Structure 1
Amino acid sequence: MRKKILVTGATGFIGSQLVIKLASTGDDITILVRKSSDLRPLESVLNNITVLYGDLANRGAIGEAMKGVDQVYHSAGLTYMGDKKNALLYRINVEGTQNILDAALEAGVKRVVHVSSITAVGIAKNRVPVDESVRWNFDEINLEYARTKHLAEIAVAEAVKKGLDCVIVNPAFVFGAGDINFNAGRIIKDVYNRRLPFYPLGGICVVDVDIVADTIMAAMDHGRTGERYILGGENVTYKQLADTISRITGAPKVRLPLPFGIAKILKSVLDRKKNKNKISKLFNLSMFRVASEFLFYNSEKARRELNMSVAPHEESVRKAFEWYRDRNLLN
């Protein structure tokens, strides 16, 4: 039976790849986007979907969009590593999610998949990958983005208690084709352009965007109500990731390790120099603080229950690089 599906965050990296896949299913796909949203990532499927305009803060627009909807993929959110947008992070990630959940309950939506983040899961201590059961400990870093994603999951848990059928997915560090806004792909661009002379001492869990989108759809079909699923792949240090990028792009290796304590001093020096823009935008202290930890995850639950596939991180990085290169986006 043809389903009516609503997707938020459809112009983002994960959201756009999800919508492209959904558009080929034969279901009725509607996306809720802001008037200012860039629809270029969806240009190949715009004739096959319905576009509605509205903001996560606009309860009326959300309520209208929910009418007659069977399933909702809520992938909208603000990703920002810093402390200058705390109020906006809360408004979008927490209050916006609450508005989606309330509207879904009121409209009688059959199921919601909430696309969260690994920052709502926790940090791996001693490099031991953590799973969905770990206690949230990102408060040790004092990162507002992580706090808002954690609070959004608390809101989901409350909605489930009220009767909403909702599943949570937590994508890791996502690479692949289609990252027009240079989310994870920023590190590829900066290593390629020699703007990242050093690497942080932590590590990250890398996953391909195609795998993430496929598994989000599997979560809608097979995920258990109220459960969360980490969508990850290989756990690599930033040194390993930088070496992979150098090997694929032909750029020189990034050879300088940079502990966070020294990074704080270096950042204050660079901020006073006129040529500070020659250093990667990734080098802000909030982001570097996170990158000094090990965000290593065990995705066995998603593999077991959602049949999530796996791929080497090198394959995902190569796909992203080739996509950027073919579109002349690396300069």
Structure 2
Amino acid sequence: MLPDQCTTTMKVLVTGASGFLGGRLCHFLLSHGHSVRAFVRPTSDVSALPSPSDDVALEFAYGDVTNYPSLLAACSGCHAVYHAAAIVESWLPDPSKFFDVNVGGLKNLLRVVKETGTIKKIVYTSSFFALGSTDGYIADESQMHSAKSFCTEYEKAKTIADNIALEAARQGVPIVIVCPGVMYGPGKISAGNILARTLIERFNGRLPGYIGNGNDRFSFSHVDDVANGHIQAMEKGQPGQRYLLTGENASFTQVFDIAADITNTKRSWINIPLFVIELYGWLSVLFCIITGKLPLISPPVVYCLRHQWAYSCDKARRELNYKPRNLTQGLQDILPWLKKSGFIKY
């Protein structure tokens, strides 16, 4: 627990501040009265963040988590760090980037904490992928990834980073680990907001049916609930502990049906086999190699869909007062926003 600053105000650094989660987290921290330093790359799109002014306690620090001097400078004068910087993609032409950012960035931050001695607490954004799949059951924070196989390089990198964070905690580093589910909500349409991207494909007719046979199961969490969970983790979370900031466990078939009911549109009537989606994924990868445009669907996405990723957030409810909305409530929020923003029609 930080000294009184946790329940009043403090100066915090947010890495990955231009991302889907990082941006929402900055807004929430500012609304709680905190002074925020947003750590972004010089080329980052920061249009979703408020402009620094006398009325907004926000400042920008430029650099990269893979660049130690820039991260060290960004931490100067801060009491706490929300480490949300990550590459969130299912596939990249150069997989080493997953490890440079998702693993190397955390290592650099831990080195900064030891060198400066001024950071009192870290909330590290891990991932449900770091706990491993849950085929046929619901897991909690005690599950450790078997590390025998990985669906994606992202999953592998986040698992390695999760272990590094746990080891750092055992060595006395004041780090709290939070593991969001499949995040979604109004905001940046990116790989971190994959459900929004999938709904766009669905309502624009590019995804004409259900994905597979509906055996997939994911834990969906609204980005605003996750952002609130991060703030509660800073105030109430115990160093060395993991907290699952997940939500309702459901399949994409259920998501599509709920979305159809909310929008008064027809439900899908066909199922697209996963082998067809995997073939499309390989074609998308080939297209990426030619054009440089990252694919929405890639074979690793299909590998994930062949498993279940269902989790319980009971621990976060008890210890952090985490209050996730259900999937229907979340979709009632994002679907009108997607329509108003011009991404979908219904």
Partner of 1:4: 11
Instruction: Tell me what 1:90 maps to.
Output: 99
Give the equivalent residue in structure 2 for 1:187: 198
2:321 corresponds to 1:307:
yes
Q: Secondary structure at the match of 1:40?
A: coil
Per-residue CA deviation, residues 31-79 of structure 1 (Å, 9 max, x unaligned), is: 1100011111113667430101001111101111112211000000001
Match of 2:291 in 1: none
> Paired residue for 2:23?
16
Q: CA deviation at 1:83?
A: 5.3
Q: Kindly indicate whether residue 230 of structure 2 is the aligned counterpart of residue 230 of structure 1.
A: no
Structure 1 residue 156 and structure 2 residue 165: aligned? yes
Give how far 1:250 is off: 4.4
Question: Offset of 1:139 from its aligned partner?
Answer: 4.4
Which one of the candidate residues 320, 329, 336 is aligned to 1:322? 336
- Aligned residues between the structures: 324
CA contact (8 A) 2:174 2:239 kept: yes
Helix, strand or coil: the match of 1:23? helix
What SS does structure 1 have at the residue aligned with 2:103?
A: helix
Change (3 A) 1:27 1:266: closer
SS of the residue corresponding to residue 30 of structure 1 reads: strand
Secondary structure of 2:48's counterpart equals: helix
Report deviation, 1:215.
0.8
Given candidates 110, 113, 133, the residue that maps to 2:120 is 110
Q: 1:284 to 1:206 in 2, by over 3 A?
A: same
Aligned to 1:276: none
Matches within 5 A, 1:1-331: 1=5, 2-43=9-50, 47-82=56-91, 84-108=93-117, 109-126=119-136, 128-137=137-146, 139-181=148-190, 182-198=193-209, 199-200=211-212, 201=214, 202-261=216-275, 263-264=277-278, 282-330=296-344
CA contact (8 A) 2:51 2:58 kept: no
**TM-score under structure 2 length normalisation:** 0.86
- Cα 1:45–1:288 shift into 2, 3 Å: farther
Contact residue 117 and residue 169 of structure 1 kept, 8 A: yes
Q: How far apart are the structure 2 equivalents of 1:183 and 1:238?
A: 11
TM normalised by structure 1 equals: 0.90
Mapped contact 2:122–2:175 kept (Cα < 8 A): yes
Cα 1:104–1:310 change in 2 (3 A) is: same
Deviation at 1:246, TM superposition (A): 2.3
**Contact preservation (8 Å) 1:282, 1:288:** no
Report sequence identity in percent.
Answer: 29
Superposition CA RMSD, Å: 2.4
Letter in 2 for 1:188: L
Is the CA contact 2:132–2:144 (under 8 Å) kept in the aligned structure 1? yes
Between 302-311 and 194-203, the greater mean CA deviation after superposition: 194-203
Q: Which runs of 5+ in 2 are unaligned?
A: 288-294
CA distance in 1: counterparts of 2:76 and 2:127, whole angstroms? 28
Q: For 1:135 and 1:103, locate their aligned partners in 2 and report how far apart those are by CA, in whole Å.
A: 27
Higher mean alpha-carbon deviation, 101-110 vs 173-182, is at 173-182
Q: Is the 8 A contact 1:41 1:180 kept in 2?
A: no
